[in-house]
Amino acid sequence: MLKKFYKIIIVPYVLFLLYLMFFGMGRTQMEDNLLTIEPIFSTINFIKGCISWKDIIIIVVGNVVMFIPFGFLGWIFPKLRELKSLLFTFISAITIVEVTQYFTRMGIFEVDDIILNTFGVFLGFLIRNLVEKKCKDWV
């Protein structure tokens, strides 16, 4: 039952995320291409410079939580049931999205986004395994 629901909802979810990544939250095309390649330090500096916890939650936690559903892709694509192939495929895909943001100037290429998004996929993978063990009737 959960797998059927997941199969129905994942495509609209991907489209929604792509919209957010390129057009959502008031994005407009930037004057310059921006590139942030200092892993972790740019996120730490962002947190230090933030005035509100709301900004931190939306940006940092959102970059993890929004990508948890991709940890369940093994339900649709059997080759992605293994963590190594799931992470390799996801990192490749999210890097393409980040590069596209850079070249279209509709976002910033940030290594931290790749790291945080991948952590979200990893959490999703762990949750998927837990769901499969605990809820065999639902899956």
Radius of gyration of the chain (CA): 16
Query: CB of 47 within 8 A of CB of 56?
Result: yes
| pLDDT at residue 18 is higher than 80 | yes
- Per-residue pLDDT tens digits for 82-91: 999 999 999 9
Nearest-angstrom CA–CA distance, 119 and 114: 9
**Mean of the pLDDT values across residues 89-102?**
95
28: pLDDT strictly greater than 90: no
Average pLDDT over residues 111-137: 92
Mean pLDDT over 123-137 rounds to 90
pLDDT tens for residues 44-82? 666 667 667 777 777 788 899 999 999 999 999 999 999
**CA–CA separation, 117 vs 101, rounded Å?**
15
Whether 138 shows a pLDDT value over 70: the answer reads no
Q: Does residue 112 register a pLDDT over 70?
A: yes
pLDDT > 90? residue 106:
no
How many CA atoms lie less than 13 Å away from 108 in the CB half-sphere? 11
